[in-house]
Structure 1
């Protein structure tokens, strides 16, 4: 694997937000945003996690890296050339981490990807209590509900929310993502209404194949 992600991880761990931004802007001159997210930023954060698991960095170091990554993603989003409000499609997405799930960096990149394709997006962040997610979904009535989890003991929560979502009268597409989707076999959850998104490449292929256009046919 290319060492670019390790270079970026170094900026994150040093708390060097300006260095990270400059590095990423240099990468954007060479690569599309999808590549940056899927092949540089995501591996950088996985690398940080691996260092923590090997006790080579502290919890504080990991939190600092996450905070810097969050800041950089927010700045990229603010400076990006997303479509104007008048050009936005009618499709709506709502994205959040399931109850007690604290990981959210991947969700922010997913939110940006939807915006890049002209979707209206509500990003509700990590660890959203179940009852509040249900309330927001009923109000917003999104075409896609994206839920994220990193750890296997979130499976019980995922099953519970999927059971509730199955009862929604407009049949939104449910996307399950996060590290859990990448590292575990979630085939049992897949259906016409539920899609497992292992990484940003899966999401990009979904858009490239024009599958978003089939949503209105099933909702």
Structure 2
């Protein structure tokens, strides 16, 4: 089904919060959140990014579209509260963007997906220096640490994070995501403890096929 992601991108760029929300909610009536995230919102924001790269829109336009998308995601989360599940007290995930990484929309969708599956989520946002992330990680002791980046320039920060997090005594699973994971081959970083998540569909598949086994193997 064609979800008209370019049309939604234009709605984001128009700054019309209600129109963007109504458009998205109509799709949520017929499709799971993961499907809408993967097939509508993600490509819409990629399209906005492409327009900016081609100098067809300004930085201010790109920021406006991001703000509208952020509003839509926040409303989806608040209006579709997930019932508490038994696993919610057992599994914890901590999510953030590496230092100097400003993109965060994908992270919000990942956070929502974890919440939908009953996890306790600690979302720290973008551009988090290593020393600050480590303080929160040691305090929260998550089962999964999710780090995100969009540009190849962030690969050294990703590598530094992996080196630090694999030394943690409780051996959390480490997920690398964001546009960087979608566009580039990051298989060199993968191991029994580290995995690359290319998109929301990939994450949903992990929940269905191997979440508990994956955590138990690295714990």
TM-score, normalized by length of structure 2? Answer: 0.96
- Tell me the equivalent position of 2:184: 184
- Tell me the equivalent position of 2:95: 95
- Tell me the equivalent position of 1:54: 54
Unpaired runs of 5+ in structure 2?
none
Instruction: Tell me, in whole angstroms, the C-alpha distance in 2 between the residues paired with 1:58 and 1:215.
Output: 43
1:99 and 1:130 in contact (8 A); partners too = yes
1:206 and 1:212 in contact (8 A); partners too = no
Aligned-residue RMSD, C-alpha: 1.4
Instruction: Tell me, in whole angstroms, the C-alpha distance in 2 between the residues paired with 1:150 and 1:214.
Output: 25
TM-score, normalized by length of structure 1? Answer: 0.96
Unpaired runs of 5+ in structure 1?
none
Instruction: Tell me, in whole angstroms, the C-alpha distance in 1 between the residues paired with 2:218 and 2:157.
Output: 25
Q: Tell me, what secondary structure is at the counterpart of 1:57?
A: coil
1:6 and 1:44 in contact (8 A); partners too = yes
1:130 equivalent to 2:109? Answer no
Provide, for residues 91-114 of structure 1, a one-character-per-residue CA deviation record: whole Å limited to 9, x for no partner.
000000000100000000000000
Matches within 5 A, 1:55-204: 55-84=55-84, 88-204=88-204
Deviation of residue 216 (structure 1)?
3.0
Provide, for residues 116-141 of structure 1, a one-character-per-residue CA deviation record: whole Å limited to 9, x for no partner.
00000000000011100011000000
- Tell me the equivalent position of 1:21: 21
Q: Which is worse superposed, 203-212 or 78-87?
A: 78-87
Instruction: Tell me, in whole angstroms, the C-alpha distance in 2 between the residues paired with 1:190 and 1:136.
Output: 24
